A and B are shown apart, each in its own frame.
Chain A
Amino acid sequence: MTDESRSIPVLEVRDLVRHYRLPRESLFSEPGHVYALNGVTFEIQKGKSFGIVGESGCGKSTLARNVMALEDTDSGSVKILGKEVVGLSFDQLRPLRRHFQMVFQDPYGSLDPHHTVGRIVAEPLAAVGPISKEEKDSRVAEALKSVGLKPQDVSKYPHEFSGGQRQRIAIARALITHPELIVADEPVSALDVSVQAQVLNLLKDLQKEFGVTYMFISHDLAVVEYLCDEVAVMYLGEIVEKGRTEDMFNTPAHPYTRILLDAVPKPGSGQKRSRIKLKGNVTGQTERRTGCVFRDRCPMAQDVCREVKPPLTPVGEAHLAACHFSDEMIKKAQPHS
């Protein structure tokens, strides 16, 4: 029994591809594309938190929307509890939706201002099928209680709450169907730092209590380090490094991961750190390119990086990186840790 639940991951993503077509610029030229996801593969075991990190424009949110089956996937496979969801129609998906819920980034935008909290929190029950009003009310009360809100809050409107409380409402909404997987797209980035900690602790407590699995998207490495068991770093729609959080933070095997880590300010150390800085923004979402996705901004780029695309290869136990020089990176990282 335990072996079986372990072998079937809660979420299994294989070679997920999503390209957006741009509007034609002229009648005779082919329309351009945004290559948002170019073959993303990962899986999340039950009760774990999986972090996805990257800059703006690297495809994190596209990945969340595709995992949640909110838009059409071009190719690849998304299995939730072993069930394929890619290719299912919206109506076929409805009964499955209770198993995976989402928490959105902006708690001011993700709650309908015209609905009461009770109605907002009960919303995902629409997919469960007809249930009695008493059961609905008791489940709403239970969900509100588990996120630390009062039962009398059900009849209030979202504008009566602060940002952190609103995000609690959004989390209660995600919890009400007792889902196995919660996809959280930057759930704390719109909140004050003090409130961030509260919401993160709440997410941790809920995981302990209900055993939910998180797919946690963030650009904030500190947040990911605090919450996640495993991390994947994305760049231009691809995973460039993936592994256990402590391995990734101690011995980054991809220069991009190293740069992201170096960019985190560390208070109190006082001494000068050797760090690699990154210039510019993510570019090149609209072109098909050879070689490594990171070659244009990589401080270590060589000729081989321009010609040969490095595959995602194991560099340690459960630690994969897509870089020709990952061994050097690890060697360099060792004395630091």
Chain B
Amino acid sequence: MSDTRSLSFLSRCRRSRSFMVGGIMTAFLLVCAAISLFWTPGSAYDITIANRFLPPSADHWLGTDRFGRDIASMLMTGTQNSIVVAVVAVSIGLSMGVSLGLLAAARRGWTEEIIMRLSDFSFAFPAILSAIMLTAIFGPGGVNSILAIGLYNIPVFARLTRGSANAIWAREFVMAARASGKGRLRITFEHILPNILSIIIVQATILFAIAILAEAALSYLGLGTQPPEPSWGRMLNEAQTLMFLDPMQAVYPGLAIATAVFGLNLLGDGLRDILDPRLSRKR
């Protein structure tokens, strides 16, 4: 009978167009990142001034930049960087935020009040601004930009979790669990978390896209990934001064960022359709 469940899950996946398109785009990025771990068409690091501004060719698929580095290779290696930053940042936000949200919903009262007011407080600062502040204090760099983005994700998850968990706490099956003598911790893990998991997964997918965008923005400002590590954001920054000389230099990393954000957002939308219990109940 678990077969019928997973079958219907798969068929619902196939029916959702946005899930399929988003999934293919995301999978394409993941494959690029995986391949770049052990092979790239050229070198993303070697500076050969003689090769600067080469047009696309068999050797350099997307041409070279002003230092003669291979753009296609830089994009592929940059994918790794974006994915690592997004995964770690979302994991930080997910683990801390969901725990805080579950705690707030389970304890109510002062605990909830303190956690939620702290979330409001951190929401009052725009994400990029607080990231700039953090990197200004601790210095620019990949790790600090991950921390900055991750910290920003905590209240997003905390709010979402607490809101949806509160709705589940009000359901009758939770009352039935209380009447069975189950404690709040046990109810949280046996009833609350499984019922809000789909909402959290969807939110994580979308925040994943936002994290990639935020990393690119920080790198563009010179606060994120430092040279010589290739990064989409810094490629954009470097291309900016060459806008009229070689506009394609800016188009490629821009397209990469757009693909990642668009694909992940579509994936999140598709997942929402698939995992939404109201849609799955209608069978």
A positions within 8 Å CB-CB of B: 65, 68, 70, 90-91, 93-94, 97, 101-102, 104-106, 109-114, 123-124, 126-127, 155-156, 159, 170, 173
Contacts and interface: CB of A to CB of B under 8 A. Distances in A.
A112 B188 CA distance: 13
B180 interface: yes
Contacts, number: 61
A19 B191 CA distance: 29
Contact of A70 (B179, B277, B281): B179
Nearest to A68: B179
B107 interface: no
Interface string B249-283: 00000000000000000000000000001000101
10 nearest A-B pairs in the assembled complex, by CB-CB distance: A127-B181, A94-B181, A110-B172, A109-B172, A124-B180, A112-B173, A97-B181, A114-B194, A104-B172, A123-B180
Contacts of B179: 68, 70, 97, 101-102, 124
A110 B180 contact: no
A109 B191 CA distance: 13
B108 to A, nearest CB: 13
B171 A109 contact: yes
Contacts of B177: 112, 123
B178 interface: yes
Nearest to A69: B179
B221 to A, nearest CB: 44
Contacts of B283: 159
A123 to B, nearest CB: 5
Nearest to A101: B179
27 contacts: A65-B175, A91-B183, A94-B181, A97-B180, A97-B181, A101-B179, A102-B175, A102-B179, A104-B176, A109-B173, A110-B175, A110-B176, A111-B176, A112-B173, A112-B194, A113-B195, A113-B281, A114-B195, A123-B180, A124-B180, A126-B180, A126-B186, A127-B180, A127-B181, A155-B1, A159-B283, A173-B176
Contacts of B171: 109
A185 B183 CA distance: 22
Interface in B173-207: 173, 175-183, 186, 191, 194-195
Interface of B: 1, 171-173, 175-183, 186, 191, 194-195, 277, 281, 283
Contacts of A111: 173, 176
Given A94-B181, A126-B181, A155-B1, A70 B172 contact: no
Nearest to A98: B181
A113 B181 contact: no
Nearest to B186: A126
Pick from B172, B182, B183 the residue with the most CB of A within 10 Å: B172
B199 to A, nearest CB: 13
B190 to A, nearest CB: 8
A105 B176 contact: no
Contacts of A65: 175
Nearest to A124: B180
Nearest to B176: A110
B1 A126 contact: no
Contact of B172 (A105, A124, A155): A105
A94 B180 CA distance: 8
A134 B175 CA distance: 27
- Could you tell me the dominant secondary structure of chain B's interface residues? helix
Nearest to B173: A112
A123 B176 contact: yes
Contacts of A94: 181
Nearest to B194: A114
Contacts of B195: 112-114
A111 B175 CA distance: 10
A70 B181 contact: no
Contacts of B1: 155-156
Contacts of A112: 173, 177, 191, 194-195
Contacts of B181: 90, 93-94, 97, 124, 126-127
A70 B178 contact: yes
B4 to A, nearest CB: 10
B182 A126 contact: yes
Contacts of B173: 109-112
A170 to B, nearest CB: 8
* Most chain B beta-carbon neighbours within 10 Å: one of A105, A110, A111: A110
B194 A104 contact: no
B172 A90 contact: no
Contacts of A70: 175, 178-179
Contacts of A114: 191, 194-195
Nearest to B195: A114
Contacts of B180: 97, 123-124, 126-127
B176 A159 contact: no
Given A90-B183, A110-B172, A170-B176, 11 more contacts: A97-B179, A102-B179, A104-B172, A104-B176, A110-B175, A110-B176, A112-B173, A123-B182, A126-B182, A127-B181, A173-B176
A93 to B, nearest CB: 7
A94 B181 CA distance: 5
Nearest to B179: A102
A249 B281 CA distance: 43
Interface centre among B173, B195, B283 (most CB of A within 10 A): B173
A202 B194 CA distance: 32
Contacts of A101: 179
Contacts of B191: 112, 114
A239 to B, nearest CB: 24
A322 B281 CA distance: 49
Contacts of B281: 113, 159
